[in-house]
Amino acid sequence: TSCLERIKDVDGSIHSFIRVTEEEALKQADAADKELATGKSAPLCGIPFSLKDLLCTQGMTTTCGSKILENFIPPYDATVVEKLKNQGAVIVGKVAMDEFAMGSTSENCAFTVPENPWKNGYVAGGSSGGSASSVAAMECLGSLGSDTGGSIRQPASLCGVVGMKPTYGRVSRYGLVAFASSLDQIGPLTRDVRDSAMVMNAIAGYDRRDSTSVKQDLPDFTASLTEGMKGVRVGIPREYFGDGLDPEVAKVVEGGIQALKSCGAEIVDVSLPHTEYCVAVYYLISSAEASSNLARYDGVVYGYRDQDADSLSDMYRETRSSGFGDEVKRRILIGTYALSSGYYDAYYKKASQVRTLILSDFQKAYKSCDLLISPVTPTPAWKRGAHANDPLAMYLSDILTISANLAGIPGISVPGGFSSDGLPIGIQLQGPHFREDTLFRAAYNVE
Ligand code: GLN
């Protein structure tokens, strides 16, 4: 109830929630109380969570921040939601996001746009902006978001919370509405690193309902937190400290490097030479996959349908024209173009080839280090509306997070400090496939 009270008190100004599910939450909380009284409850029993509104929730609207799914009620829970519920966690509601997870500020949400809880008038980041703002504003203790090109780590950084994007395949995507299937991963946004590791313990693991989920041993992610950094080699990728990096951000990351050093880590310089191609490769591949994934919203099976059309093709056209927002339409256009015959080899195929080079950059770097430290975003949060008419500037701000998705590696954003005007600045750690444990260990020494 204290989170529900808090939501009532502050959400009128923070706007994290698309829907607060009070009645359900109170029922779940009652059940959790009974479970807790037995003394044998699971670690997340009774813990209030918010969910990004692209995670399917049985009997509860799942809008993806889009008018086209405004009234869509899934008949089943996503695997991660089922896992949280099995532990007795309490779902307090569904939170704001950029439409279909396309964006970096959550301003592309059709229903509500979250504020940065640290400073009014500033963006919370995106696309999991409502997840980050709800945790930062203490409207819940944890949230699940999704990260296709930085959408967990970037809002976590801008809102001063911890955001973990697991290795591709580590967490089941069953019940996550797809944006770009080869890049999407679900992960936790939490107040601190230990909470993040505990949520990962709950949600990770093989799921036969997701054909890309991986059968891999699951460590206890909390086990290595207090091990210190002796013998761990931390790489500084020089391309991540180039032009356009705000000096205040650089200073905070430098502080993180010093912290790891003083805990016993060895610091090495590394290079990821294909970093400059990441933005182009990401926007081609993610838009191509999105154009195909979003073909299903045609007014027939799900959500919104235009009522005035008098032929089938008119109905498709009108439904999609008024159901999707501008950014989603832009991505569908880019994706359809990149996949069309005559252009496929020049764009999609080329991008896929460069994607392999980006992965091999990481594989080479991990021969001389165990993890990488860098900024998450080139700047702290910016004013709402600042990039509204400049999609390219917005795409370029993703440069430091998208390569992890292209390579499928895990990454975490940990709060590192503040800018001179009081906005949080995060530090990013990235590791080899399935080494979330190393990231948690280092993150624990940075926070
Ligand atoms: N900002 C990126 C985009 O707009 C990342 C989105 C995401 O990770 N879902 O595509």
Q: What is the pLDDT of residues 148-189, one digit of tens each?
A: 999 999 999 999 999 999 999 999 999 999 999 999 999 999
Q: What angle do CA 58, 63, 64 make, to 5 degrees?
A: 110
Check residue 71 and give its pLDDT.
92
By residue range, what is the domain housing residue 249?
A: 233-275+360-446
Mutate to test the pocket of ligand 1, among 144, 165, 294, 402 (most ligand atoms within 8 A of CB): 402
Check residue 387 and give its pLDDT.
86
Atom nearest to 104 CA in ligand 1 = 1
Q: How far apart are the first and last CA of the chain?
A: 29
Is position 222 within any domain?
Answer: no
102 CA from centroid of ligand 1 (Å)? 5
Is position 126 within any domain?
Answer: yes
Atom nearest to 402 CA in ligand 1 = 5
376 CA from centroid of ligand 1 (Å)? 13
313 in the same domain as 379: no
377 in the same domain as 317: no
List the residue whose alpha carbon is closest to atom 5 of ligand 1: 149
Domain total in the chain: 3
Atom nearest to 283 CA in ligand 1 = 10
Q: Which residues line ligand 1 (CB under 6 A)?
A: 101-104, 127, 147-151, 179, 286, 398
322 in the same domain as 178: no
401 CA from centroid of ligand 1 (Å)? 9
Check residue 302 and give its pLDDT.
83
Is position 393 within any domain?
Answer: yes
Q: What are the DSSP E strand ranges found in 17-135?
A: 17-20, 48-52, 90-95, 115-116, 119-123
251 CA from centroid of ligand 1 (Å)? 26
Is position 49 within any domain?
Answer: yes
pLDDT mean values, one per 10 residues, the chain (447 residues): 94 98 97 96 97 98 97 96 98 98 97 97 97 98 98 98 98 98 98 98 98 95 95 97 93 98 97 96 97 95 90 96 97 96 92 98 98 97 90 90 98 98 98 98 96
- Give the catalytic positions in this structure: 52, 127, 151
116 in the same domain as 29: yes
67 in the same domain as 10: yes
CA dihedral in degrees (60, 64, 69, 70; nearest 10)? 70
Measured distance CA(338)–CA(281) in Å, rounded = 11
**ipTM value > 0.95:** yes
Is position 211 within any domain?
Answer: no
429 in the same domain as 326: no
248 in the same domain as 192: no
253 in the same domain as 149: no
User: Hunting for tokens 């296709």 — which residue is that?
Assistant: 148
What contacts 211, CB < 8 A, 6 or more positions away?
A: none
271 in the same domain as 287: no
120 in the same domain as 243: no
Check residue 396 and give its pLDDT.
87
List the residue whose alpha carbon is closest to atom 10 of ligand 1: 102
Last residue of a domain, one of 152, 184, 203: 203
389 in the same domain as 307: no
Give pTM, 2 decimals. 0.97
Quote the DSSP letter at residue 55. Answer: B
Is position 220 within any domain?
Answer: no
Is position 217 within any domain?
Answer: no
184 in the same domain as 257: no
Q: What is the CATH number of the domain that holds 168?
A: 3.90.1300.10
